[in-house]
Amino acid sequence: METSKLDQLKIEREPEVEPQPRRWPWLLLVVIVLAPVVYWIFLKPEPALEVRTITAREISNRVANTVLNASGYVTARRQATVSSKFTGKVMEVLIEEGMLVEKDQVLARLDDSNIETSFALAEAQLKSAKTSLKETRALLTEARAVFDRTENLLGRGLASEAEMDSARAGLESLAAQLERKQADVQVAEKQLDVYRQQVEDTVIRAPFDGVVVAKNAQPGEMISPISAGGGFTRTGIGTIVDMTSLEIEIDVNEAYINRVKAGQKIVATLDAYPDWQIPCHVIAIIPTADRQRATVEVRVGFDELDARILPDMGVKVAFQQQAGDDAVTGRAGILVPPSAIHDNGDRQYVWLVVDGVAERRAVATAGERGKDILVTSGLAPGDRVINNAPRSLENGMQVKEVEG
């Protein structure tokens, strides 16, 4: 009974449960570590693609009346067929057609074996002359000492007048010999210079910067600065043209020469590129007429040279009205470089940068204007056009502009 009462007074306790470790700090740490990785892989925006851009520029179309049409040829004011100073055998030719050469660049070499032998002989003669000169100077020094001693002895009465005269004659003779030996050395030096120059002349050099347009000789051939009268001797190594001196020569009928003025604007069109209008100007009117053809020669210069302009090309020119005459000015279009124009087969387009985004836009072109392409529609002055657009460029892509 008592045991039962004691059991009733007993406090029953819940069984103790071991505390579980708290995992949320570790989960938080994992989230902190992985969040940047997830952002870098899935959420970070792509970097903007760098593109080179240029500003579209507008040109005005000045519609001027053509007062005279004529034709002529492209010529070079500076052109030379390079030859040697003497007849010789070609040993080496270092040029080919189309090669760019600089002033004093070696073009060819001639056989110099005979000249080298003469040069060596002249060197030996000079050395001999200098040795002889040293010998004469030594003898002159001795003769001067003998003369001084004899003069001293004569004053003391220990030498005769005959001995004095002999010493004087010996001194003067050696002095004359010294002067002649000095002249011999100078002659030998001049002769050596002559042969040295002849050795140098066997090396044919370019007279100015230019382009080789003709190669006229081969190793083993004879070359001469004068014509050999139908023989096998060449008269030149090659022909060089200074491409910066290109201009147009036109023969204008003397009845229309009054329409031409120095400095007058001209539009030239090469026969090879009929759609390319080249701005030019009159350089000079040659102050003489050709009696047989009744023409006056006019020299025309290019406002800007281009690699497509070559010597002897045919060209047509249109002489424009002088400044101040009636003319109409209007918009002609936008100029962009050819590398900015793309062609997908049926139409042309360009890439623009608009608010940092690449935009593809269709355009219409109207041929070349100098080194650029004339765009007649699709662009406005000041548009930022992508030059040399990368293949990976897509419409709507973020881009970063780089000038050029």
Domain boundaries, the chain: 50-61+329-403, 65-77+244-326, 81-111+203-241, 113-194
Does the pLDDT at position 326 exceed 50? no
Q: Whole-number mean pLDDT of the chain?
A: 83
Percent of the chain with pLDDT over 70: 82
Of residues 189 and 397, more confidence is placed in: 189
Domain at 81-111+203-241: CATH code: 2.40.50.100
Per the model's pLDDT, the better-predicted residue between 157 and 199 turns out to be 199
Q: Give the pLDDT mean for 236-249.
A: 93
| Residue with token string 């350089």 | 283
> Which pair of structure tokens corresponds to residue 299?
């020299």
Q: Which residue has the higher pLDDT, 303 or 321?
A: 303
- Residue 227, amino acid: S
Q: Which fold would CATH assign to domain 113-194?
A: Helix Hairpins (1.10.287)
Segment 137-161 mean pLDDT: 89
Summarize the confidence of residues 122-129 as an average pLDDT.
93
Determine the average pLDDT of the residues in 351-359.
Answer: 86
Average pLDDT over residues 1-23: 53
Q: What is the per-residue pLDDT for 121?
A: 93
On the question of pLDDT at 88 being above 70, the answer is: yes
Closest CA to 279 of 258, 302, 309: 302
pLDDT of amino acid 363: 87
Q: What is the largest CA-CA distance in the chain?
A: 184
Residue 105 has pLDDT above 90, yes or no: yes
- 72 — pLDDT class (breaks 50, 70, 90): very high
> Which CATH class name applies to 50-61+329-403?
mainly beta
pLDDT of 368 higher than 80: no
Return the SS3 of 192. helix
pLDDT surpassing 90 at residue 200: yes
- What pLDDT, on a 0 to 100 scale, did the predictor assign at position 104? 93
279-302 pLDDT per residue, tens:
999 999 999 999 999 999 999 999
Tell me the pLDDT tens digit for each residue of 34-68. Answer: 666 555 555 555 567 777 888 888 776 554 578 89
Question: Is a pLDDT exceeding 60 seen at residue 13?
Answer: no
> Does residue 24 surpass a pLDDT of 70?
no
> Among residues 249, 248, 246, which one has the least CA distance to residue 210?
246
**pTM of structure:** 0.59
At residue 307, φ and ψ (nearest 5 deg) are -65, -20
Determine the pLDDT at residue 403.
67
Look at the domain 65-77+244-326 and name its fold.
Elongation Factor Tu (Ef-tu); domain 3 (2.40.30)
Rounded to whole angstroms, what are the CA distances from 363 to 289, 333, 349, 366, 378? Answer: 50, 11, 5, 10, 4
Average pLDDT over residues 347-368: 85
* Pick from 325, 327, 318, 329: nearest CA to 260: 318
